[in-house]
Amino acid sequence: MFDAIVIGSGMSGGIAAKELSERGLKTLVLERGRKLEHGASYTDSVLPWELSNANMIPEEELARDYPIQGRSYAMNAATQQYWVKDPEHPYSTPEDKPFGWFRGNHLGGRSIMWGRQIYRLSEMDFEANKKDGHGSDWPIRYADIAPWYDHVERFIGVSGSKEGLPQLPDGDFLPPFALNDAEKDFAGKVADKFPGRRVIPGRCAHLSEARPHHEELGRSQCQVRSLCERGCTFGAYHSSLSSSLPAAMRTGNCTIVTDAVVHSLIHDPKSGKVTGVRVIDSNTKKTKTYQAKLVFLCASTIPTTQILLNSKSEANPQGLGNSSDMLGRNLMDHFGAGAAGLYPGLENSFYRGRRPTGFYIPRFRNVTESGEFLRGFGFQGGAARAGWGTKSKLGGPSTVGAELKERLRSPGSWLVYLSGFGEMLPNRDNRITLHPTKTDQWGIPQAHIECVHGENELKMGKQMIADAKAMIEGAGGRVVMGGSKLTIPGDAIHEMGTACMGNDPATSVLNKYNQVHGISNLFVTDGAAMASGGCQNPSLTYMALSARAAHHAAEFLKAGKI
Computed on alpha carbons and rounded to an integer, the radius of gyration of the chain in Å comes to 24
Contacts for 328 with CB less than 8 Å, ≥ 6 apart = 305, 309, 322, 431, 432, 433, 498
**Arithmetic mean of pLDDT, 509-516:** 98
Residue 407 lies in a domain: yes
pLDDT above 60: residue 256: yes
CA dist 243 and 393 (Å) reads 43
**Phi, psi angles (nearest 5°) of residue 317:** -70, -20
Cβ–Cβ < 8 Å for 295, 4: yes
Answer with the residue of higher pLDDT: 245 or 350. Answer: 245
Residue 367 lies in a domain: yes
Residue 521 lies in a domain: no
Cβ–Cβ < 8 Å for 493, 264: no
Q: What is the pLDDT of residue 393?
A: 54
pLDDT above 80: residue 388: no
Residue 403 lies in a domain: yes
Q: What is the pLDDT of residue 386?
A: 83
Structurally, how many domains does the chain consist of? 1
**Arithmetic mean of pLDDT, 184-195:** 98
Cβ–Cβ < 8 Å for 133, 323: no
Task: Give the domain extent around 369.
Answer: 177-202+335-422+453-488
pLDDT above 90: residue 438: yes
| DSSP β-ladder status, 260-268 and 273-281 | antiparallel
Residue 468 lies in a domain: yes
Number of H helices, E strands in the chain: 11, 16
CB atoms within 10 A of CB 86: 18
Cβ–Cβ < 8 Å for 67, 88: no
Q: Give the Cα-Cα-Cα angle 465, 469, 471 (nearest 5 degrees).
A: 120
Q: Give the Cα-Cα-Cα angle 229, 220, 539 (nearest 5 degrees).
A: 45
Residue type for 247, please?
A
**Arithmetic mean of pLDDT, 273-281:** 98
**Phi, psi angles (nearest 5°) of residue 437:** -130, -30
Residue 516 lies in a domain: no
pLDDT band at 352, cuts 50/70/90?
confident
pLDDT above 80: residue 53: yes
Tell me if residue 268 falls in helix, strand or coil.
strand
SS3 content of the chain, % helix, strand, coil (to 5): 30, 20, 50
Q: Give the Cα-Cα-Cα angle 227, 236, 354 (nearest 5 degrees).
A: 40
pTM value? Answer: 0.96
Residue 417 lies in a domain: yes
Percent above pLDDT 70 for the chain: 98
Q: At what angle do helices 181-193 and 455-474 cross, to 10 degrees?
A: 110
Residue 223 lies in a domain: no
